[in-house]
């Protein structure tokens, strides 16, 4: 009976949220099982690496850092936005933030754990890890990294936990008759929260202080991460803007990760009442703004040395812009930056629905047009008979990029009406692209520079002059991604992924100050 009455204290959408804490099914177990399997596989790979040494990776003397450090920078970057965004939105009193702050903060927590793991995976002598404490030297950026990451991890964990206390108290009541472990967990974590005005006042003060403190900490963390490269003399790393450049990239990829998480939880836990299209639109605007800032820094970072073409910088610059790394680099710029921004902006244009009736966007005429163009090109470039040109494999291969580009543009334009009708799908595709691009961009920052040191790579044993990651590195990377997802999912099974008490308050403010809550969406 008591339980029944208590249940009624929750609004329907809150009830659904609470149910998500327990709802499991075959799909849930399949997902968790799959993640655990990937993690186990990664552990086996790490075991192999421990046994035989880092020689089982593609790393060699010239490429002393690779995928692991890429993962490190990537995860720390993704971790960036959660706490930072939530702090800024809290401080500025943006009401729409309420259903998503906890998701964002939990991303910080999960990806920071994975990011912090990576340097240890990368260590040649993990057995000597204590030397960092016994013989640590303050002038090494690695020590700065350790200090800033532990500070950030502590700060962001608190920042995740403190605003959760009233909800944990709610759960304590809710599970008063539930399983013992849950009861005990929530009782301990609720810290005796009763919701008295005094407690509420304290809570709000602490959240406010934490929100202010976490901003400089978050910014400093990624700055320091960039310094493990920027503090060296290597052309391509020796850059004064690496700090802000990395911070902007981190914010961009982190905001994208939040969008992905929002969509995933909305779909999995049926949170449509909490996370609305409005939220995706707002986050989309944020992503556009952050993307433009990031593009500005990227342009600065590459254009200034490109203009000067100083001796030592030529190597990595040409490798990135037109050499072996050009494909990855341009993918990060077009697929990971331009297309996502276009995806978030173009579908809102009023004439997009009319595209559907454009004949050239129908598959068959489009294919015909493409084939005709290509035929013309082959004919012109061979300036002989078309048949001879078709037999020329090299000519065909040269055409491939053009075909792909044309098909890509066609697909993009043809899909615009679809994305106009489904803004959430647009936001998710954009954010996934951003994250793939973000990982690859970190790779392009780290590896090409190593290919072009001051003294050219000479007399390296066969295979040491190029970097090819091995299955060990990929397995551990997959395991890290799986670990991130698993921590996140388990978190959402322990605590409501949307803040109950904060979204309750939102309803109050919306009623009283509707103008603010519904400020016109640009």
Residue whose CB is less far from another protein, 65 or 269: 65
Least distance CB 227 / another protein (angstroms): 10
Residue whose CB is less far from another protein, 469 or 496: 469
Least distance CB 465 / another protein (angstroms): 4
Residue whose CB is less far from another protein, 137 or 397: 137
Question: How many Å apart are CA 123 and CA 50, to the nearest integer?
Answer: 10
Q: Hey, which residues between 39 and 58 contact another protein (CB under 8 A)?
A: 52-55
Least distance CB 146 / another protein (angstroms): 6
Q: Which residues of 214-228 are buried (b: 16+ CB within 10 A; e: fewer)?
A: beebbbbbbbbbbbb
Note the helical H segments in 309-392: 311-321, 326-330, 339-345, 363-382, 386-391
Instruction: Describe the crossing of helices 311-321 and 423-451 by its angle, rounded to 10 degrees.
Output: 140
**Is residue 304 close enough to count as binding another protein by CB under 8 A?**
no
Burial class (CB within 10 angstroms; exposed 0-12, middle 13-18, buried 19+) of 450: buried
**Is residue 323 close enough to count as binding another protein by CB under 8 A?**
no
**Is residue 178 close enough to count as binding another protein by CB under 8 A?**
no
x/- track of binding to another protein for residues 127-166 (CB under 8 A): -xx-xxxxxxxxxxxxx--xx--x----------------
Residue whose CB is less far from another protein, 438 or 450: 450
**Is residue 455 close enough to count as binding another protein by CB under 8 A?**
yes
Q: Can you read off the two tokens belonging to residue 392? A: 């020329």
Determine contact, residues 246/226, Cβ cutoff 8 Å: yes
**Is residue 88 close enough to count as binding another protein by CB under 8 A?**
no
Determine contact, residues 187/172, Cβ cutoff 8 Å: yes
x/- track of binding to another protein for residues 226-265 (CB under 8 A): --xx-xxxx-------------------------------
Residue whose CB is less far from another protein, 54 or 438: 54
Residue whose CB is less far from another protein, 134 or 393: 134
Burial class (CB within 10 angstroms; exposed 0-12, middle 13-18, buried 19+) of 90: buried
Q: Hey, which residues between 111 and 130 contact another protein (CB under 8 A)?
A: 119, 122-125, 128-129
∠ CA 257-258-260 to the nearest 5 degrees? 65
Question: How many Å apart are CA 105 and CA 427, to the nearest integer?
Answer: 20
Residue whose CB is less far from another protein, 61 or 173: 61
**Is residue 453 close enough to count as binding another protein by CB under 8 A?**
yes
Question: How many Å apart are CA 492 and CA 490, to the nearest integer?
Answer: 5
Length of the chain: 522
Residue whose CB is less far from another protein, 27 or 458: 458
Determine contact, residues 246/225, Cβ cutoff 8 Å: yes
Least distance CB 125 / another protein (angstroms): 4
Least distance CB 81 / another protein (angstroms): 24
Least distance CB 157 / another protein (angstroms): 18
Q: Hey, which residues between 462 and 481 contact another protein (CB under 8 A)?
A: 462-466
∠ CA 478-481-485 to the nearest 5 degrees? 135
Least distance CB 54 / another protein (angstroms): 5
Residues that bind another protein (rule: CB under 8 A) add up to a total of 54
Residue whose CB is less far from another protein, 62 or 382: 62
- In DSSP notation, 28-55 reads HHHHHHHHHHHHHHHHHHHHHHHHH-GG
Of 334, 89, 100, nearest to 215 by C-alpha is: 89
**Is residue 65 close enough to count as binding another protein by CB under 8 A?**
yes
The residues of the shown chain that bind another protein, judged by CB under 8 A, are 52-55, 59-62, 64-65, 119, 122-125, 128-129, 131-143, 146-147, 150, 228-229, 231-234, 450, 453-466
């Amino acid at each position: 009976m008591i339980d029944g009455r208590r249940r009624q204290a929750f609004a329907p959408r809150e009830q659904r949220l609470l149910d998500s804490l327990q709802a499991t099914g075959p799909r849930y177990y399949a997902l968790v099982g799959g993640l655990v399997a990937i993690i186990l596989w990664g552990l086996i790979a790490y075991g192999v690496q421990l046994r035989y040494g880092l020689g089982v990776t593609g790393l060699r003397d010239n490429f002393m850092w690779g995928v692991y450090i890429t993962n490190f920078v990537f995860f720390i970057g993704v971790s960036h936005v959660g706490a930072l965004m939530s702090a800024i939105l809290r401080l500025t009193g943006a009401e729409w933030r309420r259903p998503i702050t906890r998701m964002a903060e939990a991303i910080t927590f999960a990806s920071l754990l994975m990011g912090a793991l990576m340097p240890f995976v990368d260590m040649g002598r993990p057995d000597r890890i204590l030397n960092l404490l016994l013989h640590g030297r303050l002038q090494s950026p690695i020590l700065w990294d350790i200090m800033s990451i532990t500070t950030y991890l502590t700060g962001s964990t608190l920042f995740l936990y403190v605003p959760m206390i009233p909800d944990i108290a709610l759960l304590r009541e809710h599970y008063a008759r539930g399983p013992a472990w849950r009861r005990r967990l929530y009782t301990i974590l609720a810290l005796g929260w009763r919701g008295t005005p005094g407690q509420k006042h304290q809570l709000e003060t602490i959240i406010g202080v934490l929100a202010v403190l976490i901003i400089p900490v978050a910014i400093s963390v990624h700055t320091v991460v960039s310094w493990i490269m920027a503090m060296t003399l290597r052309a391509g790393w020796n850059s004064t803007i690496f700090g802000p450049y990395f911070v902007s990239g981190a914010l961009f990829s982190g905001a994208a990760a939040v969008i992905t998480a929002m969509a995933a939880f909305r779909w999995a836990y049926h949170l449509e009442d909490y996370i609305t299209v409005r939220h995706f639109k707002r986050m989309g605007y944020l992503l556009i703004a952050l993307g433009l800032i990031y593009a500005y820094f990227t342009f600065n970072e590459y254009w200034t040395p490109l203009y000067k073409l100083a001796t030592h910088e030529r190597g990595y610059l040409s490798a990135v812009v037109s050499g072996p790394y050009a494909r990855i680099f341009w993918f990060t710029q077009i697929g990971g930056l331009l297309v996502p921004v276009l995806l978030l902006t173009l579908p809102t244009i009023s004439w997009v629905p009319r595209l559907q009736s454009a004949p050239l966007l129908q598959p068959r005429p489009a294919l015909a047009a493409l084939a005709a163009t290509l035929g013309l090109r082959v004919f012109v470039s061979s300036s002989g008979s078309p048949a001879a040109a078709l037999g020329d494999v090299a000519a065909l291969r040269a055409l491939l990029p053009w075909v792909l580009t044309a098909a890509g543009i066609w697909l993009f334009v043809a899909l615009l009406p679809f994305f106009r009708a489904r803004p959430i799908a647009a936001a998710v595709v954009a954010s996934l692209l951003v994250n793939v691009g973000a990982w690859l961009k970190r790779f392009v920052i780290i590896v090409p520079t190593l290919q072009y040191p001051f003294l050219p790579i000479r007399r390296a044993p066969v295979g040491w002059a190029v970097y090819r990651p091995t299955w060990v590195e990929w397995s551990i990377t997959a395991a890290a991604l799986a670990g991130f997802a698993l921590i996140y999912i388990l978190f959402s099974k322990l605590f409501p992924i949307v803040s109950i008490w904060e979204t309750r308050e939102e309803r109050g403010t919306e009623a009283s100050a509707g103008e603010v809550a519904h400020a016109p969406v640009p």
